[in-house]
Structure 1
Amino acid sequence: MSLMGTFDVGTTGLVAQSLRLNLIASNVANAESAVSADGQAYRARHVVLQSEARAGRVGQGVKVARIVESNAEPRMEYRPGHPLADSKGYVTMSNVNPAEQMVDMVSASRAYQFNIEMMNTTKQLMLKTLDLGK
């Protein structure tokens, strides 16, 4: 892989981690919601990443394979006065675990920073290579 190809790999990582961070933000924003647009409790969403192959070569970056909903059971909270409460007084809440989302956010943020650092290191290496000719 050429040094210029390193920027392509870094860019794919930035795009993937950016989408991951956006989904985490959406999950955190809906952590206390009881009903989503489809009338069901919000389900946490996660990104599934996959190695990207270009021109028949693997290891050329990463891509978002799909976005999946969590299969964890929704939380049941006892709120007898809530308009969405069932006959026993329980409201079906989202299955978002805020602590898990914060750990994912730190992981995605660090991966994003790593890609930036890798691209900066590549840039510095290219500049030093150009200085060899002076």
Structure 2
Amino acid sequence: MSMLTALKISSSAMTAQMTRLNTTASNLANMDVVGSTADGAYKAKKPIFKTMIENYTSDNFEASVKVNGIHVSDRPNAKSYDPSNPAANDDGFVFMSNVNSIEEMVDMTNASRSYQTNVEVMNATKKMMMSTLQLGK
């Protein structure tokens, strides 16, 4: 595996983690949004990652991470009686989003740490490439 391959792998992982951070931010931003129906209420989203293996041989391969899609949570939305809410249905109920803020904060922390780890991998790879260039001096 070449050092450029290591950079490519880390880059794809950073892109995937950025998507994860974006969906988490969207979930947290819409956490308090209500709807008049269960289908109209906000539903949490999670990215689905897939490992991509390219140029596979018996002694070498290139792997990367790809966002394969965004999963919409099927967790039921809580129903709350609030007839004064403008979004209330005819019976006076509103449906809350199904976002769990604790899960989202944990997901955000994990995505952030994974992103930072891949930054460190890129920095180490860059340092090794620079050291290799210095051998000829």
Does 2:103 match 1:108? no
User: C-alpha root-mean-square deviation of aligned residues, in Å?
Assistant: 1.9
Deviates more, 1:73-82 or 1:90-99: 73-82
Rounded to whole Å, the distance in 2 between the matches of 1:76 and 1:108 is 31
2:41 paired residue number = 41
Contact 2:5 / 2:62 at 8 angstroms: preserved in 1?
no
* Paired residues for 1:1-134 under 5 Å: 1-35=1-35, 40-56=40-56, 60-86=63-89, 89-134=92-137
TM-score (norm 2): 0.87
Query: Comparing 108-117 with 86-95, which one deviates more in the overlay?
Result: 86-95
Secondary structure of 2:34's counterpart equals: coil
TM-score by length of 1: 0.89
**Following the alignment from structure 1 to structure 2, what is the Cα–Cα distance between the partners of residues 53 and 64?**
14
User: Cα deviations across residues 70-120 of structure 1 (Å, max 9, x unaligned)?
Assistant: 111112223231133345543101101111111100111111111111000
Q: Percent identity?
A: 41
Question: Would you say how many aligned residue pairs link Structure 1 and Structure 2?
Answer: 132
Unaligned runs of 5+ in 2: none
| Distance across 1 between alignment mates of 2:81 and 2:124 | 53
Structure 1 unpaired stretches of 5+: none
Counterparts of 2:81 and 2:136, CA distance in 1 = 72
Q: 2:40 corresponds to which letter in structure 1?
A: Q
Which is strand-richer, 1 or 2?
2
